Amino acid sequence: MTVKHSFEPIVPGGATILVLGSMPGEASLDQQAYYAHPQNLFWKIPSTLPNAPALESYNDRLASLEHYQVALWDVLQQCEREGSLDSKIIKSSEKPNNIVELLEQTPSIQKICFNGQKAYQSFKKHLLKKNSEFFEQYELVTLPSTSPANASIPKDVKYEIWLREVWLCRNHDITIHEKILR
C-alpha cells in the first residue's frame, strides 16, 4: 500500500471559507497542484462566473482564491491508498492535518465546506468529535464532490450548490439562476 501525503494549506489573506478535501488524487499528487485532474470541476465552476479572474495556469487559480476569499486544504495529512478513490483509503492509516491550529491562526474563516462525504467523515472522526465546542463557531457544509468519480450527481446540480455555498458568497448580486443560464 502506498502512503500519500497532502499539500500545505493555501490561505489567502481575508479568507472567509475553508474548503477541505479528503486527500489529493493521483493527478494532483503528480502535478503537486490542488484539483489537477482535468475532469475535476473544482476550478471549472468559478471560471464560468462573469468577470471571473483568468484561471488558465495553476498560479492564476491560486491567485483567484484571494478574490473569492477561499482557503484550501485537506482533512488528511497522510493515509494509505492505492489510486485516487476515497473508497480505497485505509481508515486505520488516516492521520489528520492540524485544522484547529490553522483556524486559530485564521480568524477570518467563518465557514468550512467539505468537498465530498469522505472529507466530512474523516473530519468528524478525527477532529469534530475531539473539538466539538471549538467547531460550534463555524458553519459546516458538506458539498457534493467535484471529483469525476462522483457521477451520481448531475454537473448542473454540483455547479449550483458550489456556486451558492462557495464561489458566490462575496458576489451576492449574481443569482445562481442567472449564472446557470449563461
Question: Which sign, positive or negative, has the C-alpha torsion 43, 49, 54, 60?
Answer: negative
Whether 175 has a pLDDT exceeding 80, the answer reads: no
Q: What is the pLDDT of residues 26-82, one digit of tens each?
A: 999 999 999 999 999 999 999 999 888 889 999 999 999 999 999 999 999 999 888
Query: Which pLDDT band, with edges at 50, 70 and 90, does 177 fall under?
Result: very low
Q: Render the burial of 121-132: b for 16+ CB within 10 Å, e for the rest.
A: bbbbebbbeeee
Can you say whether residue 51 is alpha, beta or left, with left for phi > 0 and alpha for psi between -120 and 50 degrees?
Answer: left
Q: What is the pLDDT of residues 84-116, one digit of tens each?
A: 877 777 888 889 999 999 999 999 999 999 999
Whether 182 has a pLDDT exceeding 70, the answer reads: no
Q: What's the pLDDT at 170?
A: 61
pTM of the model: 0.90
